[in-house]
Amino acid sequence: MLHDNLIFLRALEAEDLDFLYTLENDSSLWPVSDAVTPISRYTLQKYLDNAGADFQEVRQLRLAICVVADERAVGTVDLFDFEPRHQRAGVGIAVLQNERGRGYAQAALNLLKTYARHTLHLHQLFCTIGARNSISQKLFERAGFQFVGVRKDWLRTAEGWQNVVEYQCLLDI
């Protein structure tokens, strides 16, 4: 269920340290991830040591996006802010800069939706995207997420305040 012809999703492994170090320190992703400083290998190692914690307990899950052809990790997809009572979670996705535009993110979102519905028994997923990030908006729209609103002046950027747009996907439909 966590694979198709292009990619597969898997739990993070200790061997993912260098990959995560590269991904987390890609400053082009910082404006959408709330990061403002580089992250150390030590901090990432501590994170990996606890990455296998139970989703129900820690209320978040990060999976590596891997290419079927050579099994290399090219990104991550996250579930966060899991609310068990309301059966919903937020979604975040990041793909290495040199791997973007190859369909990996779209495939990952499609697999994640199936996993969230059939295995985790979630009712809905949601995401928050910078209003100027039309690429991510189109990605989530193609994955069946629907625009539900705008938060004004939500992100502080180098260019000033930016709105964000909210999307959700009802999985029971």
Domain count, the chain: 1
Specify if 86 maps to a domain: yes
Tokens of 52: 């296998």
Specify if 110 maps to a domain: yes
Specify if 145 maps to a domain: no
Specify if 162 maps to a domain: no
Determine the structural domain holding residue 98 and report its residue range. 7-123
Specify if 109 maps to a domain: yes
Specify if 141 maps to a domain: no
Each residue of 4-61: pLDDT tens digit?
999 999 999 989 999 999 998 888 887 777 777 888 999 898 888 877 766 777 788 9
Q: Return the bridge partners of 63, or none.
A: 11, 77
Residue with tokens 């260098």: 18
Specify if 43 maps to a domain: yes
Backbone angles phi, psi at 144, to 5 degrees: 95, 10
CATH number for position 52:
3.40.630.30
Average pLDDT over residues 129-134: 93
Each residue of 75-99: pLDDT tens digit?
999 999 999 999 999 999 999 999 9
Averaged pLDDT score across all residues of the chain: 91
Tell me the three-class secondary structure of the chain, residue by residue.
Answer: CCECCCEEEEECCHHHHHHHHHHHCCHHHHHHHCCCCCCCHHHHHHHHHCCCCCHHHHCCEEEEEEECCCCCEEEEEEEEEEECCCCEEEEEEEECHHHCCCCHHHHHHHHHHHHHHHCCCCCEEEEEEECCCHHHHHHHHHCCCEEEEEEEEEEEECCEEEEEEEEEEECCC
Specify if 148 maps to a domain: no
